[in-house]
Structure 1
Amino acid sequence: MQKIKTALLSYGMSGKVFHAPFLDFHPGFELLGSWERSKKLIQQDYPSVKSYATLKEVLESDADLIIVNTPVGTHFEYAKEVLLAGKHAVVEKAFTTTAAEAQELVDLATEKGVKLSVFQNRRWDSDLKTVRQVLLDGVLGDIVEAEFHFDRYNPLLSPKQHKETANAGAGILKDLGPHLIDQALYLFGFPQAVFADIRTTREHSLVDDWFDILLYYPNFRVRLKASFFVREANPAYTIHGKKGSFLKPRGDVQEDELKLGAKPNVENWGTESIEKEGLLHTEIDGKVALEKIPTLQGNYYDFFDGVYNSISNNKEEPVTGQDGLRVMQIIEAAIQSSAQRKAIAI
């Protein structure tokens, strides 16, 4: 198996938790190291890799693939340099700060003949995978409405300054928003219009920390919500069709296990607790059914496997740059809608 030499542009929480463990575990990747500006930590976890002092060092290395996992406001600048250097790129969410930047990166990757993917890892969450399977099974009938939540209870401001200062990459809309928006587009396609309300609710907050986005489809609606003031969680996924309903709490365990230092595997990785099973209430073959649905196994490994195949076997990226562009188009429409208090046709 050809090894894809890979470097990270940061070894904070993202690099340590979401990227390095899978790059180290997947047999198709060789983790070269990470750009580290102040704290030099990656060699504590992976002694054989390198800590790069500058971006120039990373770009001049023999890396085939570079993970752009720095703060959102830097994604466009760094990803552009990576692509101009002829390297493949995976860019963390939010992909960029504007749709125009996203389009420029998509065009540049095509021009340079390199692969560009967006790290929308939550397509491989156990709960989202289960929701998708229920939809594919068609047991709900024609969809009437769906509502996705990414809620937390955390009134305190983040200690990470780039998340709480007013800048183009800050705010919940570009933090949790890309997850929910990407999942909606992945399941239902691109909507016809967007209506949104974006607010600031935490004391002393300088950035948006609450949103309610309504996506208009020809025959149904999808609502996306996120808040820092939800002590008692709503179902993460609520879908109502003309035959029945499916309710699923958020239950994916991967992030929590990775934060505790667990290493990924392909056997029982991403297995939820049985208490988090979703509830299906529908009609099957003329009979009403009310039952719990076993949750599918989540595994972010599949994203990295998709990246490997896109580079080594010239397959389509697991999440394309075009996918990232569509998310940014929804975000821009949501900002415009909230400001003008009206639905925005796309």
Structure 2
Amino acid sequence: MQKIKTALLSYGMSGKVFHAPFLELHPGFELLGSWERSKKLIQEDYPNVKSYPSIEELLADDVDLVIVNTPVGTHFEYAKKVLLAGKHAVVEKAFTTTVAEAEELAKIAKEQGVKLAVFQNRRWDSDFKTIQKIIQEGVLGDLVEAEFHFDRYNPLLSPKAHKETANDGAGILKDLGPHLIDQAVCLFGSPKGIFADIRITRENSLVDDYIDLLLLYEDFRVRLKAGFFVREAHPAYTIHGKKGSFLKPRGDVQEDDLKVGKKPNLDSWGTESEDLKGLLHTEIDGKIIREKIPTLQGNYYEYFDGVYHSIVNNTIEPVTAQDGVRVMQIIEAAIASNAQQKVISL
């Protein structure tokens, strides 16, 4: 099996939790190491890899693929260097800070003949995959409205300075917003317009920490919400159609399991608790049903497998640069809508 030699641009939480375990699990990747500016941690977990002192030394090595998992405000600069060096790239969300940056990266990747993928791993969450299946089966009838939540209760500011300093990459709109927006676009396509309410709710916060985005489609509406003052969670997904409804709590276990050091596998990984099943209340073949629906298994391995095949077999990336551009277009429109207090057409 062809090996893709891969390096990370950071070995903080995302490198340790979301990337390295799956690169280790997948037989098609070889983890070469990570750029580490101060703390040298990757060799504690992977003794045979390298700790690069600079991005220049990393790019000078025999690297095929680079994971750009640094703060959002640096994505464009670093991804551009990676692509111009002729390396394939995976860039975390938010893809960039502006649409113009996203479009330029997509253009460079095409000119260089390399693959560029956005890391929208939440498409492979167990709860989202279940929602996707319900919608594809059409058991709700024509859709009327959907509401997605990514809520938390955490009034304290993050200790990570880049998350709480006013900059183009900070704030919940570019942190949790890309997850919600990407899922909506993945399911329903691009909206025709958006109305956005973006606020600061935490004491002493300098960055937005509450979003309420209303995506306008031809015949239905999608509301996306995220905030830090939700002790009692709404369903993560509420979908109403002309025949019925489906409500699903957020239940994907992958992030929590990865954070405590559990290693992913191809068998039981990403299996939700039975008590987090979604509720389907609809009419099928003239019969009213109201029952709990088994949750599909989630696994971020599928994303990395998609990246592997895109490079080795020249298939389309699992989340394309154009997908990233579309999310950034909606984010920019949301910012404009909030500032002008009006619907912005897309």
Q: Fold-level match, TM-score > 0.5? A: yes
- Following superposition, which runs of at least 4 residues in structure 1 exceed 2 angstroms of deviation? none
Give the aligned residue type for 1:219. D
Give the aligned residue type for 1:158. S
1:8 maps to what in 2?
8
2:274 maps to what in 1?
274
Q: Does 1:203 align with 2:209?
A: no
SS in 1 for 2:247: strand
Alignment of 1:60-99 (within 5 A): 60-99=60-99
Q: Does 1:47 align with 2:47?
A: yes
| Displacement of 1:197 | 0.4
Q: Partners in 2 of 1:175 and 1:319 — Cα distance?
A: 17
SS in 2 for 1:30: strand
Q: Partners in 2 of 1:60 and 1:325 — Cα distance?
A: 29
| Displacement of 1:330 | 0.2
1:188 maps to what in 2?
188
Q: Partners in 2 of 1:32 and 1:55 — Cα distance?
A: 13
Alignment of 1:287-326 (within 5 A): 287-326=287-326
SS in 1 for 2:292: strand
Q: Partners in 2 of 1:135 and 1:204 — Cα distance?
A: 41
Q: Partners in 2 of 1:158 and 1:53 — Cα distance?
A: 27
2:114 maps to what in 1?
114
Q: Partners in 1 of 2:281 and 2:44 — Cα distance?
A: 50
2:56 maps to what in 1?
56
Alignment of 1:88-167 (within 5 A): 88-167=88-167
Q: Partners in 1 of 2:247 and 2:100 — Cα distance?
A: 36
Q: Partners in 2 of 1:25 and 1:286 — Cα distance?
A: 47
SS in 2 for 1:296: coil
Q: Partners in 2 of 1:58 and 1:177 — Cα distance?
A: 31
Q: Partners in 1 of 2:75 and 2:215 — Cα distance?
A: 26
| Displacement of 1:229 | 0.1
2:230 maps to what in 1?
230
Alignment of 1:208-223 (within 5 A): 208-223=208-223
| Displacement of 1:297 | 0.2
Q: Partners in 2 of 1:213 and 1:58 — Cα distance?
A: 39
Identity fraction in percent: 78
1:340 maps to what in 2?
340
Q: Partners in 1 of 2:321 and 2:242 — Cα distance?
A: 34
Q: What is the CA deviation profile of residues 285-325 of structure 1, one whole-angstrom value per residue up to 9, with x for unaligned ones?
A: 10110000000000000000000000000000000000000
In structure 2, list runs of 5 or more residues that go unmatched. none
Give the aligned residue type for 2:35. W
Give the aligned residue type for 2:105. L
SS in 1 for 2:91: strand
SS in 2 for 1:43: helix
Give the aligned residue type for 1:307. V
1:262 maps to what in 2?
262
| Displacement of 1:76 | 0.2
Give the aligned residue type for 1:102. A
Q: Partners in 2 of 1:47 and 1:59 — Cα distance?
A: 20
Q: What is the CA deviation profile of residues 117-160 of structure 1, one whole-angstrom value per residue up to 9, with x for unaligned ones?
A: 00000000000000000001100000000000000000000000
Q: What is the CA deviation profile of residues 177-210 of structure 1, one whole-angstrom value per residue up to 9, with x for unaligned ones?
A: 0000000000000000010000000000000000
Q: Does 1:34 align with 2:34?
A: yes
Q: CA RMSD in A?
A: 0.3
SS in 1 for 2:150: strand
Give the aligned residue type for 1:80. K
Q: Partners in 2 of 1:321 and 1:142 — Cα distance?
A: 30
Q: Partners in 2 of 1:238 and 1:247 — Cα distance?
A: 5
1:23 maps to what in 2?
23
Instruction: Give aligned pairs, total.
Output: 346
Give the aligned residue type for 1:37. R
In structure 1, list runs of 5 or more residues that go unmatched. none
SS in 1 for 2:30: strand
2:176 maps to what in 1?
176
Question: Taking structure 2 as the reference length, what is the TM-score of the superposition?
Answer: 1.00
| Displacement of 1:332 | 0.2
SS in 2 for 1:151: coil
Q: Partners in 2 of 1:259 and 1:198 — Cα distance?
A: 30
SS in 2 for 1:144: strand
SS in 2 for 1:44: helix
